[in-house]
A = this chain, B = another copy of it.
Amino acid sequence: MAATSAGKTYHHGDLRNALICAAVDLATAGGPERVVLREAARRVGVSPTAAYRHFEGRGELLRTVRNHARRELAASMERAAAREPGADDPVLAAERRVAALCRGYVGFAVEQPGLYRAAFCAAHPAAAGEPEPGRATAEPEIRAFTLLREALEALARLGAGRPGARPATGAAAWSAVHGLSLLLADGPLRRLSAHGRSVVVDATLAMVVSGTTTV
């Protein structure tokens, strides 16, 4: 039977994916706290507990959404970088790439605040103790950060000779872009007009691209 379309079979056929999609929709609409197992099941037309056949629980579902969101974020950055026209001057090109990646990052956060928040949600919404002291589960690496860091390193290599205008460290740049995104998407700057927003974004990008670092 056509698993995903026919519909009325007892066995759904692709529940896991269906639940993920529903959960992503929920996160998109209302952020990570809105990712509710029962609601996702309801939307897929299945009983609440069916989800437990495919996920450990809400936590794992949320983690899956988080990973999805992180991929989307990185994709948004790469799209923005790809749109950027090249430049003859390699330094200029590198600067533009950094700026474009950052714009893609912030743009994603502003256009998809719910997903963006989900991308960085703790996934431990109520865990008290430190369940993992050994940390066997390595964090899966966040591509958005890697992209940014590599672009900055490239820029730093090119501009090594110029005095006092080295770009920011990867982590410093990430901090700036991440903080800006949260302030704009969900925080105190959320009500800024499009113009006000672009002013703030430009100022932050300038700081990131040309800021000096002591390290």
- Chain A residues with CB under 8 Å of chain B are 29-30, 33-34, 120, 122, 125-126, 128, 135, 139, 142, 145, 164-165, 168-169, 171-183, 186-189, 191, 199-200, 202-204, 206-208, 210-215
Contacts and interface: CB of A to CB of B under 8 A. Distances in A.
A33 B125 contact: yes
16 contacts: A29-B128, A120-B187, A142-B188, A145-B188, A165-B212, A169-B204, A171-B200, A174-B179, A175-B177, A176-B179, A176-B204, A178-B183, A179-B179, A179-B182, A182-B182, A206-B215
Contacts of A120: 182, 187-188
Given A176-B176, A207-B211, 10 more contacts: A30-B126, A33-B125, A171-B189, A172-B180, A176-B179, A177-B179, A179-B180, A206-B215, A207-B208, A211-B212
A188 B30 contact: no
Contacts of A178: 179, 182-183, 187
Contacts of A126: 30, 33-34
Contacts of A199: 215
Nearest to A179: B179
A208 B172 CA distance: 9
A-side interface mostly: helix
Contacts of A206: 172, 211-215
Contacts of A165: 164, 212
Nearest to A192: B171
A178 B203 CA distance: 16
